[in-house]
Amino acid sequence: WLIIFHIRVHPCSSVAGILSSILLLSSFIPQAYAEEITVPELYRQHCAECHGDNRLGGMGPALLPAVMRRLEPEQAVGVIAEGRPATQMPAYGDKLSTTEIQALVDYIFTPPATMPAWSESAIETTHRLLVPRDSLPVAPVHEADPLNMFVVVELGDHHASILDGDSFEVLKRVPTRYALHGGPKYSPDGRFVYFASRNGWIAKFDMYSLQYVAEVRAGINTRNLAVSADGRYVMVANYLPNSLVLLDARDLRLLRIFEVADDHGNGSRVSAVYDAPPRQSFIAALKDIPEVWEIRYADNPLPVYKGLMHDYRMEEGVIDRGPFPVRRIKLDDYLDDFFFDQSYTHLIGAARNASNGQVVHLDVGRKIAELELDGLPHLGSGITWEYQGRTVLATPHLKKGEVSIIDMENWKTIKRIKTEGPGFFMRSHENTPYAWVDVFFGPNRDKVHIIDKRSLEIVRTLRPEPGKTAAHIEFDRNGEHALLSIWDNEGAVIVYDAETLEEVRRLPMVKPSGKYNVHNKITRSAGTSH
Ligand code: DHE
């Protein structure tokens, strides 16, 4: 590997000292010294903490050519120098020289000596059934309302707190695998919760007895998981390998691996997978192939679409007509982030670099409209509500301080609400007139806006802890309280009265990220993510 000469300056050096150090490097004056560094060492110093020692991903994605198909090496230079908006990727332009950045790009675009694989047997070897079903209690071992509990993910030290949504007492705090990401998903009755970690571990946790019951490693670098509406299956979406992995929801045993590739065998990362209950199918959007995949899990192959019975397996685009038939819907752009209407007839999605969003009609299997969405909308946290007799979709944008309000009948943007910076998460509840949106990026990242759903105006801006990011809101079962994270290692979950907007409790937590209420999730409240 290329050896880079690093000029390291002693931290005590003055500006004049630094200049003289550079000029007089050849005479070896004491403040400065030249150091040889190999590119793998440079990677270890600056990248490995997030992207993994062997480039297989960690908190950040894997950095192998096979999972960077949409990124040109020249663009990667820009990402390293300037950072990547709406991710945790910082800018290194002031820490690394142009030569160092180019060397890192060459390094990450070099395929590894052996391509990492995660085969059926690898998955099976990691499987552990910790508590058999018949050893679990029939009723909760705690006094909390099982439908008003929350899971709070604490990213700072990789734990999850199980919270009573009435008393706001932490019932149990348990360690999780490294870097849980995305929404944990509940079984349809709310008894179990399934976690996915960025490094592929899937865990099943019992909300009655507050213990893990099974786990398995389904991938190397994972996006998220979905649970089928009938509670029988868990589907895992992976970046690495390019796959969807179907597990038995009872014990997380492997049922099937779907390799994700186009007609020519070119693989793709999966952007995310969701359950679509009325369709009895999983819907996955892909990152490197402009397609949406619909995988039916119902035993009955004759779904009713618009009152018409037809054999799903005979639909155009259906490959693999056996159990779990895969229907491929071809699009003209990729989907990085997406969202469904409440009926799961429409998928609303966007690519990171697109100037417009797209509406895909899942019954007819094609794009039917474009949306005016150009600020990298975070559609995954989009929510809907009724406004003047019609349903509207609200989504924050990761690249601009704005919330777009879209009429879901004609797909026109009816309002752009200016915010004090780009937001990540948005939430509401059927029983509150307010929608909450954070300001995740920029100098105002410690603020949260409250929008009146009736007037589409910001009516209050909270700043719960100056200087610390305030983000991600979730309501309790009845919409009486809103819980907000102070996203810091010395952070907290703050409980607000959802009507008066006054703080009622502050629960210390270690960088709490998402909070997930059992009732709101299993009833698929329009105000929360599904
Ligand atoms: Fe997330 C959900 C993708 C970065 C915290 N994020 C999701 C989901 C997707 C996604 C597809 C939906 C999963 C689900 O519901 O099953 N996230 C992405 C990205 O592509 C992005 C921008 C880059 C990346 O690093 O992958 C990204 N996400 C982040 C973060 O940097 C956040 C802030 C911190 C973290 O944990 O890494 C973050 N994402 C979250 C959270 C959710 C989430 C807390 C769940 C939201 C919910 O309420 O459902």
Decide if pLDDT at 43 tops 90: yes
Mean pLDDT for 42-48 is 94
Which atom number of ligand 1 is nearest to the Cα of residue 181? 36
> How far lies 274's CA from each of 205, 249, 380, in Å?
20, 15, 11
User: How far is residue 274's CA from residue 382's CA, in Å, rounded to a whole number?
Assistant: 14
Distance CA 339, CA 349 (A): 6
Give me the helices (H) in 255-318, please: none
Mutation to probe ligand 1, out of 49, 181, 469 (largest number of atoms < 8 A from CB): 181
Residues enclosing ligand 1, CB less than 6 A? Answer: 86-88, 155, 181-183, 223-224, 272, 380, 424, 472, 513-514, 529
Query: What pLDDT is recorded for position 301?
Result: 56
Give 102's pLDDT tier (boundaries 50, 70, 90).
very high
- Looking at residue 199, its pLDDT comes to 93
Confidence band, pLDDT 50/70/90 cuts, at residue 3: low
338 Cα to the center of ligand 1, angstroms: 12
pLDDT of residue 312: 54
Please name the residues in contact with 494: beta carbons below 8 A apart, sequence gap of 6 or more: 464, 483, 484, 485, 486, 503, 505, 506, 507
* DSSP state letters, 388-436: TTEEEEEEEBSSSSEEEEEETTT--EEEEEE-SS----EE--TT-SEEE
Give nearest CA residue, ligand 1 atom 43.
Answer: 182
- The predicted pLDDT at position 31 comes to 38
How much of the chain is in helix, strand and coil states, percent to nearest 5? 15, 40, 45
Closest ligand 1 atom to Cα of 196: 16
Residue closest by Cα to atom 30 of ligand 1: 87
Per-residue pLDDT at 86 exceeds 80: no
pLDDT at 332: 86
How far, in Å, from the CA of 223 to the mean position of ligand 1?
A: 8
Nearest ligand 1 atom to the CA of 528 is: 48
The complex scores an ipTM of: 0.96
34-38, 374-378, 509-513: which range is least confident on average? 34-38
Residue of minimum CA distance from atom 35 in ligand 1: 181
Position 377 pLDDT exceeds 80: no
Select the highest-mean-pLDDT range: 265-269, 278-282, 421-425, 457-461: 457-461
- Cα–ligand 1 centroid distance for 113 (angstroms): 31
Which residues lie across from 63 on neighbouring strands? none
pTM: 0.88
Reply yes or no on whether the pLDDT at 336 is more than 90: no
Q: What is the Å distance from ligand 1's center to 429 Cα?
A: 21
**pLDDT exceeds 80 at position 21:** no
Nearest to 192 by CA among 137, 124, 122: 137
Residue 244 confidence (pLDDT) above 60: yes
Per residue in 307-332, pLDDT (tens digit) is: 444 455 556 666 666 688 899 999 98
pLDDT digits (tens, 9 = 90+) for 253-285: 999 999 999 989 999 999 999 999 999 999 999
Strand partners, 403: 396, 417
Q: Whose CA is nearest to atom 19 of ligand 1?
A: 87
Q: Where are the beta strands (DSSP E) in 108-231?
A: 128-129, 149-154, 159-164, 170-175, 185-186, 192-196, 201-206, 211-217, 221-227
pLDDT tens-digit map of 165-190: 999 999 999 999 999 998 999 999 99
d(CA 412, CA 218): 40
Nearest CA to ligand 1 atom 15: 183
* Number of neighbouring beta carbons within 10 Å of residue 63: 25
What share of the chain in percent tops pLDDT 90? 72
Q: What's the gap in Å between 181 CA and the centre of ligand 1?
A: 6
Distance 224 CA to ligand 1 centre (A): 9
Angle between helices 98-108 and 73-82 (to 10 degrees): 130
Residue nearest to atom 49 of ligand 1 (CA): 183
Q: What mean pLDDT do residues 121-144 have?
A: 97
Looking at residues 122-132, what average pLDDT do you find?
Answer: 97
Q: Is the pLDDT of residue 163 over 70?
A: yes
Per-residue confidence (pLDDT) for residue 69, from 0 to 100: 83
Confidence of residue 464 (pLDDT cuts 50, 70, 90): very high
The predicted pLDDT at position 67 comes to 82
- Find the 22 Cα to ligand 1 centroid distance in Å: 43
Peptide bond into 184 cis (omega under 30): no
What is the distance in A from the centroid of ligand 1 to the CA of 380?
8
Distance 445 CA to ligand 1 centre (A): 17
Is residue 13 pLDDT above 80, yes or no? no
Closest atom of ligand 1 to 88 CA is 31
pLDDT tens sequence across 338-352? 889 989 999 998 887
